[in-house]
Amino acid sequence: MKKYVQVENVQMSFETRNGAFVALKDVNLNIARGEFVTLIGHSGCGKSTLLNLIAGLLMPTDGVLLCADREIAGPGPDRGVVFQNHSLLPWLTCFENVYLAVERVFGETEGRAELNRRTHEALGLVHLTHAEQKLPNEISGGMKQRVGIARALAMQPKVLLMDEPFGALDALTRAHLQDELMKIVEKTNSTVIMVTHDVDEAVLLSDRIVMMTNGPAAMIGEILEVDLPRPRNRLALASDAGYHRIRGAVLEFLYQKHVKEAA
Amino acid sequence: MNIRRYFGENLFPPIIGIGLFIVVWMILAQSSEALPGPIKTWDSAVVLFSDPFYNHGPNDQGIGWNILNSLGRVGVGFGLAALIGIPLGFIVGRVEFIDKMTSPIISMLRPVSPLAWLPIGLLVFKAANPAAIWVIFISSIWPMIINTAMGVRQLPQDYLNVARVLNLSEWKIFTKILFPATLPYMLTGIRLAIGTAWLVIVAAEMLTGGVGIGFWVWDEWNNLNVEHIIIAIFVVGIVGLLLEMLLVRLAKRFSY
């Protein structure tokens, strides 16, 4: 397996009033190009911390992270991030929000027409051409999240990092966006790392599911291969034995081996 | 039907309020010899506003000139305060060290009555007009610093994360994130500042003299022209109200 994103012996601790809090310990993970990996675990297990480390928003206390053989020393446009709460700038239209990212990555080498074309294309990919000139407050939560995805994809990142991107959406919208994301990933052949706490979402989307133990000092508990053929269809999978086997394995990990006391 | 309801709910109560106000005023005027009633004041206002821009030398000019002169002073003092206060607010909000450095000074000077600064202005500028502008400047700078700094401090971490992930330049962060995010707070500061400035100008002009609505009130008091004083009170109130409405409009345009 060609390693594209490498996480090697990473440890992460935060300084708190009561001394150092170890969030992650001895985390090792290799992700291949074009792979879709989800990180799943109970809340507080450090899955978002791991994602933020790959994004470069956090620096590890110990260990090293690499993306395409280069050390991750901070955030960069080679790793597009989709935030849970979309984080669009409310005073910019959808077009301008995406354009801001496009301009940053391609502004030095390309002219305005080309930048506009890229922005249109990214919004077209998430089927939002009709809402380009709307402000984020004028569109629904699902549409905002799609603009967030378009913004991340428009930078043509090496890796797409998604932090519970559909967590704040209702179930129907979530399913719709999952289907759309599958199509986009297939078309763009993106490498995706997604944090989720939704077992069905993880099984439906992933090539591999990384299951994390409970914090503090969370580690990677198990890694599960999802060998279901693509393209996947949620209706067909509902009666698929392989799907239920994998789903069962994840549930067993979360609710038997690493059960978390209700807080 | 709907129009009738609209008028009933939105226009009827203020009309009743104003009517009651005038009735109370009439009763008070009846029982006092010195206080002119609404009708007498209205007649006097008609005369006054029929020629608002006459000019009979520095001590006798139309009400229009007086208002414009006062607005001019407020504009200059307030503009200078914005020019210095807003950038200062950005720095105070962004740099914690400077925030801690300036906060005791600002906290101490802010509650000082603006008029207390007038003698300093007279001393430094040796002229009445710049001293009045100085008072406006000093009274309107605090809300602008404080509100701008508050806006910068309240910048959501999400937006800064976007800036970091997109790796935006400092200039882009300022123009696309920091400035627009702070703008509503800044406008609140501007609104508070202009309100105070308009409050203060009347008192400042009473002390400094010259052409202006404040000095005009004082002058009419010396002439014992009470109608004109009442008219001046209404004029100051209405101009203040208009300024406030203008800025609320502006603020609405920039709220997200």
Task: Tell me the C-alpha to C-alpha distance, in Å, between residue B45 and each of A221, B71, B159, B169, B195.
Answer: 85, 20, 54, 58, 25
Structure confidence by residue, pLDDT tens digits, A190-216: 899 999 989 999 999 999 999 999 878
Residues in chain B: 256
Instruction: State if pTM tops 0.90.
Output: no
Q: What is the mean pLDDT of residues B117-144?
A: 93
Q: Please tell me the distance from the alpha carbon of residue A216 to that of residue A25, in angstroms, as a whole number.
A: 9
Which residue in B has a C-alpha nearest to residue A86's C-alpha? B158
Q: What is the mean pLDDT of residues B44-63?
A: 82
CB within 8 Å of A120: residues ≥ 6 apart: A129, A132
Three-state DSSP class for residue A184: helix
Tokens of A109: 């080498």
- Ranges A44-53, A112-121, B84-93: which has the least confidence: A44-53
Q: What is the mean pLDDT of residues B202-219?
A: 89
Q: Please tell me the distance from the alpha carbon of residue B126 to that of residue B129, in angstroms, as a whole number.
A: 9
Query: What amino acid occupies position A260?
Result: K
Quote the DSSP letter at residue A253. I
Structure confidence by residue, pLDDT tens digits, A24-47: 989 999 999 999 999 998 887 888
Q: Please tell me the distance from the alpha carbon of residue A132 to that of residue A140, in angstroms, as a whole number.
A: 13
Residue A77: the pLDDT is 85
Residue B74: the pLDDT is 93
Structure confidence by residue, pLDDT tens digits, A84-123: 888 899 999 999 999 999 999 898 899 999 999 999 999 9
**Residues B167, A77: C-beta atoms closer than 8 Å:** yes
Which residue in B has a C-alpha nearest to residue A96's C-alpha? B176
Q: What is the mean pLDDT of residues B5-22?
A: 87
Share of chain B above pLDDT 90, in %: 50
pLDDT over threshold 60, residue A188: yes
Quote the DSSP letter at residue A203. H
The single residue listed with the structure tokens 């009347």 is B202
**Residues A100, B165: C-beta atoms closer than 8 Å:** no
Quote the DSSP letter at residue A255. I
Residue A160: the pLDDT is 93
Q: Please tell me the distance from the alpha carbon of residue A204 to that of residue A174, in angstroms, as a whole number.
A: 12
Share of chain B above pLDDT 70, in %: 99
**Residues A57, B161: C-beta atoms closer than 8 Å:** yes
Of the partner residues B158, B181, B256, the one whose CB lies closest to the CB of residue A137: B256
Residue A262: the pLDDT is 58
Tell me which architecture the domain covering B58-254 has in CATH: Orthogonal Bundle (1.10)
Indicate the domain borders of chain B.
58-254
**Residues B161, A92: C-beta atoms closer than 8 Å:** no
Q: What is the mean pLDDT of residues B92-98?
A: 92
Three-state DSSP class for residue A82: strand
**Residues B166, A100: C-beta atoms closer than 8 Å:** yes
Q: Mean pLDDT score of chain A, rounded to an integer? A: 90
Query: What amino acid occupies position B161?
Result: N
pLDDT over threshold 60, residue A263: no
The single residue listed with the structure tokens 């450090």 is A46
Quote the DSSP letter at residue A17. T
Three-state SS string over chain B comes to CHHHHHHHHHCHHHHHHHHHHHHHHHHHHHCCCCCCCHHHHHHHHHHHHHCCCCECCCCCECHHHHHHHHHHHHHHHHHHHHHHHHHHHHHHHHCHHHHHHHHHHHHHHCCCCHHHHHHHHHHHHCCHHHHHHHHHHHHHHHHHHHHHHHHHHCCCHHHHHHHHHHCCCHHHHHHHHHHHHHHHHHHHHHHHHHHHHHHHHHHHHHHHCCCCHHHHHHHHHHCCCHHHHHHHHHHHHHHHHHHHHHHHHHHHHCCC
CB within 8 Å of B30: residues ≥ 6 apart: B37
Residue A31: the pLDDT is 93
Of the partner residues B159, B168, B172, the one whose CB lies closest to the CB of residue A87: B159
Residue A35: the pLDDT is 94
Q: Which residues of B touch A72 (CB under 8 A)?
A: none
pLDDT over threshold 80, residue B170: yes
**Residues B165, A75: C-beta atoms closer than 8 Å:** yes
Q: Mean pLDDT score of chain B, rounded to an integer? A: 89
pLDDT over threshold 80, residue B59: no
User: What secondary structure does DSSP assign to A41-80, as a single string?
Assistant: -STTSSHHHHHHHHHTSS--SEEEEEETTEE--S--TTEE
Q: Please tell me the distance from the alpha carbon of residue B239 to that of residue A230, in angstroms, as a whole number.
A: 70
Paired sense of beta strands A19-31 and A5-16, if any: antiparallel
**Residues B166, A89: C-beta atoms closer than 8 Å:** no
Which residue in A has a C-alpha nearest to residue B164's C-alpha? A75
Neighbour-count burial for B56-81, b at 16+ CB within 10 Å, e otherwise: eeeeebbbebbbbbbbebbebbbebb
pLDDT over threshold 90, residue A176: no
CA angle A216, A218, A219 (to 5 degrees): 160
Q: Which residues of B touch A85 (CB under 8 A)?
A: 158
Intra-chain end-to-end CA distance of chain A, in Å: 40
Q: Which residues of B touch A91 (CB under 8 A)?
A: 180-181, 254, 256
pLDDT over threshold 80, residue A20: yes
Burial class of residue A105 in the structure, from the number of CB atoms within 10 Å of its CB (0-12 exposed, 13-18 middle, 19+ buried): buried
